[in-house]
């Protein structure tokens, strides 16, 4: 009896791995303008943001006077005179919701820029491309982002006799714990970091922040920081995201 031979079955080709795709934005892309004099620094910033799915554009302009008269989500401001140029960006009839400063200036210039209205501040040469993207996304969402030298400047002022020149009425209206929370918020800490440092639950930190927003008549973390830094609180009813 002749043995049966099993039919030859060709092996299936190995499945190809799925191509890697960058994650898309969690929400609508940010309407961003990069402001700064032409040069390698501005070009590098634009190339970095052009590859970020959370950013639309970005638009590029050479001076604060050329910022379009429409409501932008974020202006990335490359400047050697941060406070002056932040005021210039926010002086228009439809100022940007938030300003991220990229500047070589440190020390008092950082605090002055924040008082002038900047939401975030990165010191040139002290951040990577990925850190820039992270700062753009978080600033566009209304969260302050400070690079280490900028954070150092803020902390030095916090250790002074008055936290960053915060108005006396602001200090009086907040409880001791709320002042502790705002000190860390203004220094760039996340809710999780604040919870660890103050030995609180993260939910408790959120509750304290909601109480701060109510007492200071603000609607966002960025507005609370700006008020804490000594600026005039935003007009009633104005919403900043």
pLDDT of residue 161: 53
Q: Indicate if the pLDDT at residue 51 is higher than 70.
A: yes
In angstroms, what CA-CA distances link 230 with 37, 125, 233? Answer: 30, 28, 9
Q: 40-54, 110-124, 147-161: lowest mean pLDDT where?
A: 147-161
Question: pLDDT-based confidence at 56, cuts 50/70/90?
Answer: confident
Residue given tokens 């002055």 in the structure block? 112
**What SS3 class is residue 1?**
coil
Sign of torsion over alpha carbons 176, 181, 184, 185: negative
Distance CA 163, CA 175 (A): 15
- Whether residue 72 contacts residue 33, with contact meaning beta carbons closer than 8 Å, is answered with yes
Q: 5-19, 53-67, 132-146, 184-198: lowest mean pLDDT where?
A: 5-19
pLDDT of residue 209: 93
Distance CA 217, CA 2 (A): 94
- Greater model confidence, 17 or 12: 12
pLDDT of residue 23: 40
pLDDT of residue 168: 62
Nearest residue to 74 via CA among 24, 125, 135, 150:
135
Q: 1-10, 96-105, 181-190: lowest mean pLDDT where?
A: 1-10
pLDDT of residue 157: 72
- Whether residue 42 contacts residue 78, with contact meaning beta carbons closer than 8 Å, is answered with yes
Mean pLDDT of 176-205: 88
Interval 62-114: pLDDT, tens: 888 878 777 888 999 999 999 999 998 888 767 788 999 999 999 889 988 98
Q: Are strands 74-78 and 98-103 parallel, antiparallel or unpaired?
A: parallel
Question: pLDDT-based confidence at 186, cuts 50/70/90?
Answer: confident
Specify the pTM.
0.62
Please, what are the domains in the chain? Answer: 30-156 (3.40.50.2300), 161-228 (1.10.10.10)
Mean pLDDT of 233-241: 36
pLDDT of residue 19: 37
């Amino acid at each position: 009896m002749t043995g049966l031979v099993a039919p030859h079955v060709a092996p299936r080709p190995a499945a190809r791995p799925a191509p890697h795709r960058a994650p898309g934005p969690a929400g609508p892309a940010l309407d961003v303008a990069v402001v700064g004099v032409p040069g390698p620094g501005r070009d590098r910033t634009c190339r970095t943001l052009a590859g970020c799915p959370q950013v639309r554009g970005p638009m590029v302009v050479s001076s604060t006077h050329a910022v379009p008269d429409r409501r932008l989500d974020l202006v990335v401001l490359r400047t050697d005179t941060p406070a002056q140029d932040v005021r210039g960006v926010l002086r228009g009839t439809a100022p940007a919701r938030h300003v991220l400063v990229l500047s070589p200036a440190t020390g008092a210039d950082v605090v002055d820029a924040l008082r002038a209205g900047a939401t975030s501040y990165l010191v040139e040469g002290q951040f990577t491309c990925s850190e820039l993207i992270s700062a753009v996304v978080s600033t566009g969402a209304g969260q302050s982002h400070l690079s280490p030298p900028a954070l150092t400047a803020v902390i030095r002022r916090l250790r002074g006799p008055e936290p960053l020149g915060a108005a006396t009425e602001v200090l009086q209206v907040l409880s001791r714990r709320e002042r502790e929370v705002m000190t860390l918020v203004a220094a760039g800490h996340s809710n999780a970091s604040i919870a660890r440092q103050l030995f609180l639950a993260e939910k408790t930190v959120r509750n304290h922040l909601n109480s701060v927003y109510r007492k200071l008549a603000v609607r966002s973390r960025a507005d609370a920081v700006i008020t804490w830094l000594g600026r005039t609180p935003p007009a009633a009813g104005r919403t900043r995201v």
